[in-house]
Amino acid sequence: MTRLNVILLLVLLVSSVYLVRVSYDSRRLFAELHRAQNEARVLETEHERLKAEKQTQATPLRIEKTARDKLAMRSATPAITQYVTQPRAGSGVAQ
């Protein structure tokens, strides 16, 4: 009978240690999940901010201003347009 009690006591100790270990892992994983959700929320907010900034930067007026200021571009008019024509097949240099 005492042998059975000792075995049951050992089983009880092992199961209690296992229960403590599982509880600890559960709390640790829950905290990690909470941190990951917070990080996902922060990244989603940053993504939305960057999308809004991209839309602001890509307006036609801003693009035109940048082209004029930084690239020294100007609007094409018929006065400054150069037309390139393709030479005809028969009008080339004689071989």
Q: How many other CB atoms are there within 10 angstroms of residue 76's CB atom?
A: 9
Residues 14-48 have pLDDT tens digits of 999 999 999 999 999 999 999 999 999 999 999 99
User: What is d(CA 55, CA 51) in angstroms, rounded to the nearest whole number?
Assistant: 6
User: What is d(CA 83, CA 73) in angstroms, rounded to the nearest whole number?
Assistant: 19
What pLDDT is attached to residue 92?
55
What pLDDT is attached to residue 20?
97
What pLDDT is attached to residue 65?
87
Q: How far is CA 94 from CA 84, 86, 88, 90, 91, in A?
A: 22, 17, 13, 10, 9
> What pTM was computed for the model?
0.52
